[in-house]
Structure 1
Amino acid sequence: MTIHNNSASVSFEALTAFIARAFVSVGIPADDSQKIARLMACADLQGSDGHGVIRLPQYVKRILAGGINKRPNIQAHSTASAVAVVDGDNGMGHLVVSQAVELAIEKARTQGVAWVGTRRSNHAGPASLYATMPVQHDMIGLYFAVGNANHLPPWGGMDMLLSTNPIAAGIPAGQENPIVLDMATTVAAYGKVKAKAKAGQMMPEGWMIDRQGKPLLDPKRSEEGFLLPIGGYKGYGLALIVGILAGTLQGAAMGKDVIDFNKDHVTPTNTGQAILVLNLAAFGGVNVFKNAIDTLISDIKGSQRLPNVERIWLPGEQSHARRLDYAKHGIPIAAGVLNELAALSRELGIPALID
């Protein structure tokens, strides 16, 4: 552990153990707690700090309020050979989505392609965690989700009927690292807004506007405005389509039916997610594809740069670099988050993350 002025760095193992202890203390079975904890710590390890341990107090509050089923009966209903819907029984989203991805990989082995959606799920962390699981099996993963609170109005409107509705893709490569795209359909995910507030930082212009259409920079005033979509009206359209695919198609919440889990800790969210898996073997030679991706990556990295541009990044490269750095030097946790985790450990009667 390394202490800084406004943060501390902790090991992946210590962070995982702390998160698991917290979940066990509120009644989540030990194996489930460990699985959730590892996924949450993986989020922090790759720098997705808006979706990692920062969410732990919120999850615990929701569990204690009865808003999450501690021992869900998660069931998969196959509607066709390459299609299934996983009913999460209001369990932790990390458990529900993991099972959905595992099933999609299994189906794609024999069918070549598989679509598995979820309903009655919950917030599950960063999309890239699930889009990259098929990559380990020489498969492409495409992930869609409905956000757990509406912070986006339709283009030109003021009623917040859409969420950040993220999309992610994991593309296998050969000698190069996989291409991993993880993006909200808003300029910034709301988790980043929360992370800025916890760190005592202002938001950059372009993330949010107020109800007069003026830039909103203080994350602690986020309730006074809404997020902006990427690419203007195009981002609004993309958020709509992703929400339909991840939510409406599986019978999960979408639009006005989305529950704001930042404010309501009791009502089931009926969150929807979906994973589309493509087995490279069904499209020809696996190595042929992966070598072609290597060549494409090399061409992009080696392409001519604008003045003052040091390098061209591929999607997922910076997260990969953070994983290597944080695994060696520790995962940085902001002071505001550490204070909340210390209070949570006292509340739950468990050893603190940092003594």
Structure 2
Amino acid sequence: MSETAPRTSLSTLQSFIQNAFVAVGMPHEEAGKAAALMAQADLIGQDGHGVSRLPMYIKRIQAGGLNVKPDFKIIEERAATALIDGDNGLGHLVMQNATELAMKKAETTGVAWVGARHSNHAGPASLYAMMPLKKDMIGLYVAVGSANHLPPWGGTEMLLSTNPIAVAIPSGANPPIILDMATTVAAYGKVKTAAQRGETMPEGWMVDKDGNPLTDPSRASEGFLLPIGGAKGYGLALIFGILAGTLNGAAFGRDVIDFNADSKKTTNTGHFILALDIKAFADPKMFKASIDNVWAEMKSSELMTGVSEIRLPGERLAQVTQDRTDNGIPLAPALRETLKELAADLGIAPL
């Protein structure tokens, strides 16, 4: 996102999203929770997973493909584990519920793993990995992506998704270390964002089915994303899909519904969140001081020629978050126009 684009405050953006959800039947309180998470995605710089996804969510709700009044149920539970049925609710609400449960369990058991099925797209992975930080816990989140854009290594049939992972680790004087990555070179949300802005993609994000570089995001349907590290990225996508999908009784492989193309069918998206209480292993203050030492060691490493700075995962996120907190969230003109049209369709005030 160009930081020179017109900016909107977090509260204004959140109110707009909430009003949109309420307009299509979501209860006010749940709409507020969903809006807070979606606006936070934009606040931390995850533009491909924030308000830009709102028209798609609204379209699914209007088509009957997403339940605005889900009844979340725990269908399997032990001391340190649980499996939640999301009743086809918005993924943000399903995973907020799952993460809160994992944190509560981890306070007693030290570590807790909560899976979810019958969910939907939930935005950026880092949202949920970051939640346990407030309890001096480490968070780890994995999901089956909401559309297949990756074939098994050596194949051409799209049987895998970006299947992201996020890990958040607290520190003391520095920002938390936050790894948020797809198992593909680029998340598909970045492809959609590039198309929305009329930009080209770098070579290495996608290839066509003959293996030729694909740089026009409007032709994304003609090719597929490339995995990180070749066959290793394929392996990660496979394992993450099994753990977040198959293990939970959620969709995986040919069962995954492309929510970009089909607004009516239930996606049965799967996720899991793991919360690890640092107190089960170390004094939190001492641990966070040790992470500060990790920061110092990484940052003080001798630089390669042509490199100006070593950065840690989560460093840019912290910088972007601070800038957007102080100055507002930039929204591209094309996105603003789309949201203006959405507001008119729903009969709500525009941004």
Same fold? TM cut 0.5? yes
- Counterpart CA distance in 2 for 1:129 and 1:85 is 20
User: Which residue pairs with 2:222 in the alignment?
Assistant: 224
2:176 to 175, 178, 186: 178
Q: Which residue of 1 aligns with 2:36?
A: 38
Aligned with residue 281 of structure 1, among 262, 279, 293: 279
Matches within 5 A, 1:89-238: 89-238=87-236
Q: 1:153 to 1:290 in 2, by over 3 A?
A: same
Mapped partners of 1:41, 1:208: distance in 2: 28
Secondary structure of the residue that 1:120 maps to in structure 2?
strand
Q: Work out the number of aligned pairs and report it.
A: 350
Which residue among 75, 78, 96 is the counterpart of 1:77? 75
Is the 8 Å Cα contact of residues 6 and 335 (structure 1) preserved in structure 2? no
Distance (whole Å) between structure 2 residues aligned to residue 26 and residue 36 of structure 1:
13
Alpha-carbon distance between aligned partners in 2 of 1:104 and 1:282, rounded to the nearest angstrom? 15
Q: Which amino acid in the other structure matches residue 315 of structure 2?
A: E
Q: Which residue of 2 aligns with 1:337?
A: 335
**SS at structure 1 position matched to 2:331:** strand
- C-alpha distance in 1, partners of 2:306/2:24? 52
Q: Which residue of 1 aligns with 2:268?
A: 270
CA RMSD of aligned residues (A): 1.2
Which among 308, 311, 335 is matched to residue 309 of structure 2?
311
Q: CA deviation at 1:165?
A: 0.2
* Deviation, structure 1 residue 36: 0.6
Matched, 1:59 2:61: no
Which AA in structure 2 matches 1:315?
P
**Over 4 Å off, 4+ runs:** none
Cα offset, 1:53, TM superposition: 0.4
Q: Distance in 2 between matches of 1:51 and 1:347?
A: 22
Unpaired segments of 5 or more residues in structure 1?
none
CA contact (8 A) 1:20 1:34 kept: yes
- Does structure 2 retain, via aligned residues, the 8 Å contact 1:148–1:269? yes
Shift of 1:235: 0.2
Q: CA deviation at 1:277?
A: 1.1
1:243, 1:49 → 2: CA distance?
24
Aligned counterparts of 2:349 and 2:200: Cα–Cα separation in 1 = 32
Tell me the alpha carbon deviations over residues 39-62 of structure 1, each in whole angstroms, 9 at most, x when there is no partner. Answer: 111111111000000000000000
Residue matched to 1:50 = 48
The TM-score normalised by the length of structure 2 is 0.98
Whole-Å separation in 2 of the counterparts to 1:116 and 1:6: 40
Amino acid corresponding to residue 245 of structure 1 in structure 2: L
Tell me if structure 2 keeps the 8 A contact 1:68–1:268: yes
Note the residue ranges of structure 2 that are not aligned, 5 or more in a row.
Answer: none
CA–CA distance in structure 1, aligned partners of residues 133 and 272 of structure 2: 16
